[in-house]
Chain A
Amino acid sequence: MTKQYTIKNLNALFCLFICSILIMAFFIQYWLMELPCPLCLLQRFGLLSMAFGFALNAYYEPKSYHYSLAILSALFTAAVASRQILLHIVPNTGNYGSPIFGFHLYVWSFLLSNVSILFAAFLLIKNSQFNVSYSTPPFLRKTYFSLILLVILLSFANAVTTFKICGWHACPDDPKHYV
Chain B
Amino acid sequence: MLWYLFPLQLIGMITVFSGLRKFGLIMLLLSLCIGVISFKLHITDALLLNL
Are these two chains actual partners, yes or no? yes
Interface set of A (CB-CB < 8 Å, partner B): 38-39, 41-42, 45-46, 48-49, 52, 56, 60, 65, 69, 72-73, 76, 79-80, 83, 148, 151-152, 155-156, 158-159, 162-163, 166-171
A52 to B6, CA, bound (A): 13
Q: Are B17 and A79 in contact (CB under 8 A)?
A: no
Q: Taking A69-B28, A83-B43 as contacts, is the C-beta distance between A76 and B36 under 8 angstroms?
A: yes
In the complex with contacts A60-B21, A65-B25, A76-B32, A169-B9 CB distance below 8 A: no
Q: Using Cβ atoms and an 8 Å threshold, which residues of chain B touch A79?
A: 39
Is B29 in the interface zone, CB < 8 Å from A? Answer: yes
Q: Per a CB cutoff under 8 Å, which of A42, A49, A80, A152 touches B28?
A: A49
Is the CB–CB distance between B3 and A46 below 8 Å? no
Say yes or no for B38: interface residue by CB 8 A criterion. yes
Interface of B is mostly: helix
Nearest chain-B residue to A151 (Cβ)? B13
Q: A41 contacts which of B5, B14, B31, B36 (Cβ < 8 Å)? A: B5
Q: How far is the CB of B41 from the nearest CB of chain A, in Å?
A: 10
Q: A159-B3, A166-B2 are in contact. List 19 more A-B contacts (CB 8 A).
A: A45-B35, A46-B35, A52-B13, A52-B28, A69-B25, A72-B32, A73-B32, A76-B32, A76-B35, A80-B39, A83-B39, A148-B17, A155-B13, A156-B10, A158-B6, A159-B6, A159-B9, A171-B1, A171-B2
How many interface residues does B have (CB within 8 Å)? 25
B17 to A162, Cβ gap below 8 A?
no
The smallest beta-carbon distance between A3 and chain B, in angstroms, is 26
9 smallest CB-CB distances across A and B, nearest first, come from A159-B6, A158-B6, A155-B10, A163-B3, A159-B7, A171-B2, A41-B2, A166-B3, A152-B13
Cα A39 to Cα B46 in complex, Å, equals 12
Would you mind naming 5 contact pairs between A and B with Cβ atoms under 8 Å apart? A42-B38, A152-B17, A159-B9, A167-B3, A171-B1
Chain B residues closer than 8 Å to A45, beta-carbon distance: 5-6, 9, 31, 35
8 Å CB contact of A168 from B3, B22, B28, B38: B3
